[in-house]
């Protein structure tokens, strides 16, 4: 049974290797140093990519079904968040749990992944299984089943967002714990790289 929690584990360990540059020179020392230097450069690049640009994550729960399956691997892009660029409706975000969720016993070190359905100033309501934003029913193609709960109407506060799992009836998200502070967002899930049969951009 899918968990209502959405707990991407600590990022996978990315590894890369690079062969030495050419045959070893006389005595072997310069060649060995060159190989070590290449490995150190490759490691630094990998760390910069992981922490500053993209970060790999895996999906251990079913709260984003059917979009993200159990054990899917995704890349989380961090550049836009670091630059303070505006969040958009329907983006999939990875974030630290808000204080309201931590107060309920959720591990503050476990990230979550959900879809943005409300931005600051939006008036959001869920009624009769339909997502209504600013008075307009929204095309909402991701959930496999209609929502079986009532929510709102709620005006999204400044510097906050509303997020829901695509598996709407089996997700611990904003309809239970409220708005998400934008500062908690770590990045946007943009690409699935595993399994091979489902490689591609996320929407």
Q: Say if residues 97 and 106 touch (Cβ distance below 8 Å).
A: yes
Residue 112 has what DSSP assignment? Answer: E
**Beta-carbon-side half-sphere exposure of residue 119 (alpha carbons within 13 Å):** 7
**One of 63, 78, 171, 174 is an active-site residue; which one?**
63
Give residue 14's pLDDT: 27
Beta carbons within 10 angstroms of residue 41's beta carbon: 11
Within 10 angstroms of residue 154's Cβ, the number of other Cβ atoms is 17
Q: Does residue 28 sit within a domain? A: no
Q: How is residue 134 written in tokens? A: 């600013």
For residue 44, tell me if it sits in a domain.
Answer: no
Q: Sheet of 130-133: strands edge to edge?
A: 136-137, 130-133, 123-127, 151-155
pLDDT in tens, 15-55: 222 234 344 444 555 667 777 777 776 666 665 566 568 88
Count the domains in the chain.
Answer: 1
> Which residues, in sequence order, are CB contacts of 201 under 8 Å at separation 6+?
190, 191, 192
In eight-state DSSP terms, residue 51 is: I
152 within domain boundaries: yes
Is there a domain that residue 76 lies in? yes
Question: What pLDDT, on a 0 to 100 scale, did the predictor assign at position 44?
Answer: 61
Mean per-residue pLDDT over the chain, rounded: 82
The residues near 183 (Cβ < 8 Å, ≥ 6 apart) are 159
Q: Is 26 inside a domain boundary? A: no
Tell me whether residue 117 is in a domain.
yes
82 is written with which tokens? Answer: 């670091």
**CATH number of domain containing 159:** 2.10.109.10
Query: What's the pLDDT at 65?
Result: 95
Task: Given the residues 9, 17, 38, 114, select the one marked as catalytic.
Answer: 114
Identify the CA nearest to 185 among candidates 72, 101, 77: 77
How sure is the predictor about 9, in pLDDT bands with cuts at 50, 70 and 90? Answer: very low
Instruction: Please give the C-alpha separations between residue 201 and each of 7, 68, 75, 92, 166, in angstroms, as whole numbers.
Output: 21, 12, 10, 11, 16
- Per the annotation, the verdict on 174 as an active-site residue is no
The domain of 144 spans 56-201
Residue 86 lies in a domain: yes
What average pLDDT score do residues 161-181 get?
96
Residue 12: inside a domain: no
Kindly state the tokens that stand for 173: 């998200």
Name the token pair of 183. Answer: 């500062």
């Amino acid at each position: 049974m899918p968990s209502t929690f959405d707990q991407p584990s600590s990022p996978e360990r990315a590894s890369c290797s690079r062969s030495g540059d050419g045959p070893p020179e006389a005595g072997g020392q310069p060649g060995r140093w060159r190989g070590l230097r290449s490995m150190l450069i490759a490691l630094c690049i990998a760390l910069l990519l992981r922490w500053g640009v993209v970060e790999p994550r895996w999906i251990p729960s079913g709260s984003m079904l059917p979009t993200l399956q159990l054990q899917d691997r995704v890349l989380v892009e961090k550049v836009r968040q670091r630059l303070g660029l505006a969040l958009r409706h329907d983006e999939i975000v990875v974030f630290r749990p808000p204080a309201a969720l931590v107060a309920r016993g959720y591990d503050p070190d476990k990230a979550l992944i959900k879809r943005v359905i409300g931005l600051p100033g939006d008036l959001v309501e869920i009624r009769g299984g339909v997502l209504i934003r600013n008075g307009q029913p929204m095309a909402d193609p991701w959930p496999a089943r209609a929502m079986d709960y009532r929510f709102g109407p709620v005006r999204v506060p400044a510097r906050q967002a509303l997020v829901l799992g695509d598996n709407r009836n089996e997700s611990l998200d904003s309809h239970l714990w409220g708005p998400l502070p934008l500062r908690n967002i770590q990045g946007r899930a943009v690409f699935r790289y595993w399994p091979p049969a489902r490689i591609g951009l996320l929407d």
